[in-house]
Structure 1
Amino acid sequence: MPELDLSASSVDLTRAICDVPSVSGDEKTLADAIHRAIGALSHLDVHRDGDTIVARTDRGRGQRVVIAGHIDTVPINANVPVREVDIDGVPHLWGRGTVDMKAGVAVQLKLAAELVDPRIDITWMWYDHEEVTADLNGLNRLSRTRPDLFAGDFAILGEPSNGEVEGGCNGTLRAVVRTHGVRAHSARAWIGENAIHHAAPALMRLAEYRPRNVTVDGLVYREGLNAVRIDGGVAGNVIPDLCEIEVNYRFAPSRSLAKAEAHVRNVFEGFDVEITDGAEGARPGLDAPIAQEFVAAVGATPKPKYGWTDVARFSALGVPAVNYGPGDPHLAHHDEERVPVSQIETVERSLRAWLTAS
C-alpha cells in the first residue's frame, strides 16, 4: 500500500506517483494513496467520488480557481519504474506518466498540501478515466453528481504544455465508416463483392482531404481528419463482406459537435457512417480578467491546444479554462515519455507565486 509524502519535492512526488501503475481502469491504488495523503490536511474539505478526489479551501476569498489533473495513464510498455536520465546535459524523469500527466499532478499535490492560506480559494481535482471514452471520465461523472464542485472563476488543467499556457482545445469525434459486400470463395471472386475493395473511395477521400487552420479568439487551431484503424476480412480464401474504417476528426472549438458530425457525414456521403464518440472543444478562455492576470503572472504567450482535454468540460459549464503543465505534449503516450526536471520546478514555482501573491 503506497504512501505519499507531500513534504517531498514535486520532482520526487512525480517519481513516486509514476511508480504506482494507474492505467485507465486501474486507478484505485493511486487514488487511495492520494485520498489518504490529502485527507490528512485540515485546511482542505475533501470529497471522493469513485476514484476522483476533490479538495477545497474555504477562506472566503472573492474568487475561486479550479486546478485539476487526471491520475490515469495509457498502458505501460516497459517504461516503469521511472528513472532519471541526462539528455544533452539536462536532467529528465523518464517513464510512463511523467508527461501525461503525473508531473502536473505532483505539482498540484505539493501545492495543495502547502498553500494553507492562498489569496484565491482553490478547488483541487484529481480524477480517473481521462484516457478512455468520455462516458467513463471521472470529471464527466462528477459533473452529473456534484456540479457544485465545479464552481469557479477560472480553471487550470495540468496537462502537458511545455510549461506554456495553451488555451482551449480542439473538439474530437470518432466515427466508423463501413463498406459492405457479399462473401464468396476467393477462387470464384466474381460471385461475391469485396467490401475491402469498396473501401478504396473512402480512403481516397481521406488522402485528398485538406484540413483547415481556424483562428478562434486570436489562436490558430489546426484540424485533422484521419483513418486510425481499418478492419476487414474473414479468412485467407474468403471474399470479405464487411470492412470498417475508424476515423478521428479533430475540429476547431468554433465548430459544434453537431456541425462536426454533419461535416464527417458530408465527407463520407454515400457510405454507412456511425458516430461512436465525440466531445466538444473549448474556446481559448483567455478573455476573462483572471485568465489574463494568470497569463501575465506566469510570463506566457498563449498557444492553442490541438488535442482534446477536459478544459472543454469547464468551458461547457461557463468556467474559462486553460492548459498549463510540465512536459512536451509531443511525448505524451510515447514510449520515450520524459519530462525535464526544471519544467516541473518552474511550473510549481510559477503557480505558487500566482496563488499566493498579494
Structure 2
Amino acid sequence: MRVLAAMSGGVDSAVAAARAVEAGHEVVGVHLALSRAGGTLRAGSRGCCTIEDSLDARRVSDRLGIPFYVWDFSERFRDDVIADFVDEYRAGRTPNPCMRCNEKIKFAALLERGIELGFDAVCTGHYATLVDGERGLELHRSSEEAKDQSYVLGVLTTEQLAHCMFPLGETPSKQLVRAEAERRGLAVAQKPDSYDICFIPDGDTKGWLAEKVGEEHGDIVDRAGSVVGSHDGAHSFTVGQRRGLKLGVPASDGKPRFVLEVKPVSNQVVVGPKEALAVASLAGGRYTWAGAEPEQPDEPFACDVQVRAHADPVPAVARIAGGEMIVDVEDPLTGVAPGQTAVLYDGTRVIGQCTIDRTVSAVPAPV
C-alpha cells in the first residue's frame, strides 16, 4: 500500500512512520509548511510546524530511508484555520483551531492531494484506533487514555477514515513510544510535546486577537441586564472566565461572578454566579458522523458527550432535529461555550460531532 506519512517533526509521527515502513508499505514522508514566516522557530515546547520541526522530520525520514517533501499549505491554513479562528471570536464564540486544522488541513487538503497522487492512505501519529465494525469502519479511543486523541479526530468523516492509518493507537503509553524511538535511533525520541496554538507561539492569545480584531469598549452586564463593569474588547473573554473581569459593582451575595455569555452584536459580556454556568442542553448545525450514523438519528439515542479534549465524557441523549444535532445531558456540564466541539461516543467508539451553536442553561435567568 502507498502511504503518505504526515511528519510533524515530533516523536509520535516519527514512530508512526517507522511502523508503516516496517509493515512493508511504500512510505513517503511529508511535512506541512503552515507559515511562510522565515523566522518561525520553535520556543521550547510551544507551537508546532516550525522550521526546526521540518528539519527534524527530514532527519527522521533520512534515518528511515524514505523520500521526504515539504508541502506549502500556508494559504489553506491561513484561510481555513487562522481566518476561521478570528471570525469565530468576532462572533463571540470560542473555537478550537486544532479541530479545524485536522478537519480542513491534515485530513482534507493533505488527503485530497495524496489521493490525487495515487496514495492509498495518510499515516499520522495520533493516538486513536480504527476498527472494522458490523456496519463498517469505526473510530475508537486509543489504549493510552492519557494521550487519547479521538476527540480531536471526531471531525473526520466516514470517507476520510477509510484512508487513515493510526499506528500508535494500540500503544499503551507515550513512554513506550519514546523508548521505541530511542531503539530506532531517531533523534526526536526525547523531544518535548508541543502545546498552545501553533500560530500564536508566545501564548498571548488575547494580545494576538487585539491586533486582529481591534479593541472596542463595551459593557459587562449581569443576567438582568444591569451594567456592572466595562471591557476593552468582548473577544478577550471566554465562557467560564473568572479572572480579569474588574467589575465595578459587587454581587449582592458577595460571591464571585463568571462570564456566562459573549454578545458580539451588542458588544456586551454577561456575567453571573458559578451555578449559572451549568448547561443542560447544547445544539449545533454543523455536524458529521465518524462511521455509520445511528439507524434512526432523528430519534433520541443514548450516548456520551465530550466537550473538551481532556474532559470526561458524560451520559447524554442526542437526536437530529431541525437541521441540528441536539444533545441533552443527564448531569449539567459546566462552562460550555458556542464554538466548542461536542463529540459523541458509544463506549470507546466515536459516533460523530457538532460545533456548538447554542446552549441551554440548567439555571433559568431571573425574570
TM-score bin, normalised by smaller chain: under 0.3
Of structures 1 and 2, the one with the larger relative CO (CA 8 A, separation 6+) is: 1
Question: Scaled by the length of structure 1, what TM-score is found?
Answer: 0.26
Higher helix share: 1
